[in-house]
Amino acid sequence: MSEWAAKRFWKETTVTERPEGFGVALDGRAVKTPAKAALTVPTRAYAEAIAAEWDAQEGAIQPHKMPVTRSANAAIDKVARQHSEVVAHVCEFGGTDLLCYRAEAPAELFDLQAEKWDPLLEWAAQTYGAALKVTTGILPVDQPADHLARLEAEVAALDPFALAALHDLVGITGSLVLGLAVARGRLSAEEAWALSRLDEDWQIAQWGEDEEAAEIAAHKREALCDAARIWSLAER
């Protein structure tokens, strides 16, 4: 038996203004989150993007095609209620940041990582006072606690909507530095994606690309671009 799927039941999708922000209405009825909270976002642009996703639905509603709506739901139902836990999870990536772990061999890959990644670590040091240590291989390196604390303070200051977007930027790239660089306009999402894929792309150049892995990577790349867009929508 196939599962029941909600279908489009409304004709008009509108953006509504509220004292605490902006919402979306379907034929005048306010959209709510899965937890039945009011779907209220901080900017009109954010609400307009959500409205566009709902308006684009035809027939059965397809949540996987609604990344802005999903992020807003997560921000309201989960991140706002577990803010400190989400901050801690995001900041864990600072202690094991992708950019800090370099290949032991070959020398060409090591040099490429240094060329491409060092400028971002220098940016983090200058911008946040967080000078992260670099190592080779996979054995963990202890990062200076006070430097990690400065990065954590930056993340902790975010509202739930921005934090939800940063969570995806960091999780997809495996790097707190890359996530913050996209959020603060130092990198585009495409640039961050390429930097996060140095090792994989090197291997592909040597041995060729696996079709299944390429499909997974394409989905991640799209999700990263969505997260960057959502960050910009959430900016007040």
pLDDT, one tens digit per residue, over 155-167 is 999 999 999 999 9
Identify the band that residue 5 occupies on the pLDDT scale cut at 50, 70 and 90. low
Whole-number pLDDT of residue 186: 98
Please state, for a pLDDT cut of 90, what percent of the chain lies above it: 85
For residues 214 and 59, which has the higher predicted lDDT (pLDDT)?
A: 214
Where would I find the beta strands (DSSP E) of 36-155?
A: 101-102, 135-136
pTM of this structure: 0.94
- Mean pLDDT along residues 61-72: 93
Q: How confident is the model at residue 62 (pLDDT cuts 50, 70, 90)?
A: confident
At residue 4, the pLDDT reads 41
Give the tens place of pLDDT for each residue, 17-56: 989 999 999 999 999 999 999 999 999 999 999 999 999 9
Residue 72: name the closest of 96, 97, 40 by CA.
40
- Whether 83-234 and 13-65 are alike in CATH topology: the answer is no
Q: What is the SS3 assignment for 126?
A: helix
Confidence of residue 210 (pLDDT cuts 50, 70, 90): confident
User: Band of the pLDDT at 9, cuts 50, 70, 90?
Assistant: confident
Question: Nearest-CA neighbor of 72 among 104, 89, 94, 48?
Answer: 48
Q: CA–CA separation, 162 vs 39, rounded Å?
A: 15
> Could you give the C-alpha distances from 60 to 4, 57, 161, in angstroms and in order?
9, 7, 27
pLDDT for res 1:
34
pLDDT tens-digit profile of 104-150? 989 999 999 999 999 999 999 999 999 999 999 888 899 999 999 99
Mean of the per-residue pLDDT values of the chain: 94
Enter the CATH code of domain 13-65.
3.30.2180.10
Q: Residue 76 above 50 pLDDT?
A: yes
**CB contact at 8 A, 23 and 38:** yes
DSSP string, the chain: -PPP--B---S-EEEEEETTEEEEEETTEEPB-TTS-B--BS-HHHHHHHHHHHHT--SB--GGG-HHHHHHHHIIIIITTSHHHHHHHHHHHHHT-GGGEE-SS-HHHHHHHHHHHHHHHHHHHHHHS-----EESSS--PPPHHHHHHHHHHHHTS-HHHHHHHHHHHHHHT-HHHHHHHHTTSS-HHHHHHHHTHHHHHHHHHH---HHHHHHHHHHHHHHHHHHHHHHHH--
Superfamily of domain 83-234: ATP12 ATPase (1.10.3580.10)
**Comparing C-alpha atoms, which of 65, 61, 73 is closest to residue 31?**
73
Judged by DSSP in three states, 87 sits in: helix
Q: Edge to edge, what strands does the sheet with 29-30 contain?
A: 13-18, 21-26, 29-30
The C-alpha angle 103, 108, 113, rounded to 5 degrees, equals: 50
The structure tokens listed for 112 are 């490429």
Q: Where are the domains of the chain?
A: 13-65, 83-234
DSSP class of residue 31 equals: P
Local confidence band at 209 (pLDDT 50, 70, 90 cut-offs): confident
pLDDT score at 59? 83
